Amino acid sequence: MKDENSLNRRRFLGLTGKSIGAAAMFPLLNTKDLFGGIKSEKQLGIALVGLGGYAMGQLAPALKETEHCKLTALVTGTPSKAERYGKEYDIPESHIYNYENFDEIVDNPDVDIVYVVLPNSMHAEYTIRAANAGKHVICEKPMAVSVEESEQMIAACKANNVTLQIGYRLHFDPYNQAIVNHTKSGKNGLPKYVNAEFGFTIGNPNQWRLKKAMAGGGAMMDVGIYCIQAARYATQEEPVSVTAQEFKTDAVKFAEVDETITWQMEFPSGAVANCNTTYNFRTERLQVSYERNNFQAILSPAYIYGGLKGTLGGEPLDFGNPNQQALQMDAMAVAINNGTVTSASGEEGLQDMKIIEAIYKSIAMNSARVEL
């Protein structure tokens, strides 16, 4: 019989026979680290709220692979989706809700976690309603459209004695975590410089991502947040200031939200992050330069769901192609079963919202340096 730990580890790392050598060189993560060594007792039921691209393209399929949680309910405003996905995922009618009767989920013992995958401006309302229904919450990034809303969400979850976690899947991705662990090891001293960029060319000009009332902001809220995250986890520090610059090439398409923003963050150790986010071209990388031995960590692509590539001190990283969403939801379910939360907590999301507000403030002040 194969050793169960080794099987779990291979599954976590998405390892193939070919990649195990690289993983052995970088023994950075395993299920024991991720799940605190405690195996979860109960497979928790998850209700997905908002059956759009991410929920049905990534999360629902990932829930077929999870060990510690499973899909037990759907919440949608579109009757045809209720019918289609109800059948596809074997969800009984009694477990399918719409936005009006959503609060009845309080009476559903098969739902332990409500996972909010709605447009950004709806995150706060549905997180608070879920918390009031006594359900644990996972909310997609950005956790809300303001610091104020984020604080209300955290307070509602505390008041109802439920947990709040944010869909930061890269906290469970071995490539990004390899950099985190390298920083923590101190082997090459402190990180001195981070370059983080994430952007893509956005299509349909009528989508909610381009409407301020629905999205809260543009590229910054949507994908710039990954760069903020990366700079924070790569340095293991919190920024003390931001300075930001905004650029717009299409004033019509981006009338309501930001198109391209570059910004810099200073950290207490003196480390600097130089970041870019955009809806106008494809860019995706994370580079971290350390204090000693000319050591660099580089990931590109760095933030998408699969196919991440990179090097650590020139050595290729190869953890295969793990299912980030399955790892994330399993880790979050195990944390809940253990009465805790993962590093992707509500407070972690709030910190990003504070930085985003500071970035927008810097732009509004003609790229002034804003202290955090």
Query: What residues act catalytically?
Result: 141, 226
Contacts of 334 (CB under 8 A, 6+ apart): 34, 35, 36, 38, 39, 40, 68
Which single residue is written with the structure tokens 């309603």?
A: 129
258 counts as binding ligand NDP under rule CB under 6 A: no
128 counts as binding ligand NDP under rule CB under 6 A: no
276 forms beta bridges with 197, 262
94 counts as binding ligand NDP under rule CB under 6 A: no
To ligand NDP, the closest distance from the beta carbon of 171 in angstroms equals 11
Q: Which stretch binds ligand NDP (CB under 6 A): 47-55, 171-179, 257-265, 291-299?
A: 47-55
Which single residue is written with the structure tokens 């662990």?
A: 181
To ligand NDP, the closest distance from the beta carbon of 203 in angstroms equals 12
Q: How far apart are CA 29 and CA 174, in angstroms?
A: 7
101 counts as binding ligand NDP under rule CB under 6 A: no
To ligand NDP, the closest distance from the beta carbon of 344 in angstroms equals 10
Q: Which stretch binds ligand NDP (CB under 6 A): 7-15, 21-29, 51-59, 104-112?
A: 51-59
Q: Cβ distance 336 to 328 under 8 Å?
A: no
Rounded to the nearest angstrom, the gap between the alpha carbon of residue 8 and the centroid of all alpha carbons in its chain is 23
Q: Is 197 helix (H, G, I), strand (E, B) or coil?
A: strand
**In 136-292, alpha helices (H):** 147-159, 174-185, 212-215, 219, 225-235
Contacts of 201 (CB under 8 A, 6+ apart): 279, 280, 281, 282
Q: How far apart are CA 361 and CA 147, in angstroms?
A: 13
171 counts as binding ligand NDP under rule CB under 6 A: no
86 counts as binding ligand NDP under rule CB under 6 A: no
**In 36-194, alpha helices (H):** 53-54, 60-62, 79-88, 123-132, 147-159, 174-185
Candidate list 14, 119, 174, 218; residue touching ligand NDP; CB under 6 A: 119
The nearer residue to ligand NDP, 50 or 322, going by C-beta atoms, is 50
118 counts as binding ligand NDP under rule CB under 6 A: yes
Cα dihedral 209, 215, 219, 222 sign:
negative
173 counts as binding ligand NDP under rule CB under 6 A: no
Q: Which stretch binds ligand NDP (CB under 6 A): 24-32, 38-46, 48-56, 314-322?
A: 48-56
**In 14-73, alpha helices (H):** 20-25, 31-34, 53-54, 60-62
81 counts as binding ligand NDP under rule CB under 6 A: yes
The nearer residue to ligand NDP, 140 or 237, going by C-beta atoms, is 140
Question: Per-residue x/- mask for ligand NDP, residues 205 to 224, rule CB under 6 A?
Answer: ---x-------------x--
Q: Cβ distance 95 to 133 under 8 Å?
A: no
Candidate list 45, 50, 216, 346; residue touching ligand NDP; CB under 6 A: 50
117 counts as binding ligand NDP under rule CB under 6 A: yes
Q: How far apart are CA 209 and CA 248, in angstroms?
A: 16
Q: How far apart are CA 265 and CA 120, in angstroms?
A: 24
The nearer residue to ligand NDP, 102 or 263, going by C-beta atoms, is 102
Q: Which stretch binds ligand NDP (CB under 6 A): 9-17, 46-54, 313-321, 339-347?
A: 46-54
Q: Which stretch binds ligand NDP (CB under 6 A): 75-83, 183-191, 269-277, 329-337?
A: 75-83
313 counts as binding ligand NDP under rule CB under 6 A: no
The nearer residue to ligand NDP, 19 or 229, going by C-beta atoms, is 229
Binding site for ligand NDP (CB under 6 A): 50-55, 76-78, 81, 117-120, 140-141, 167, 169, 208, 222
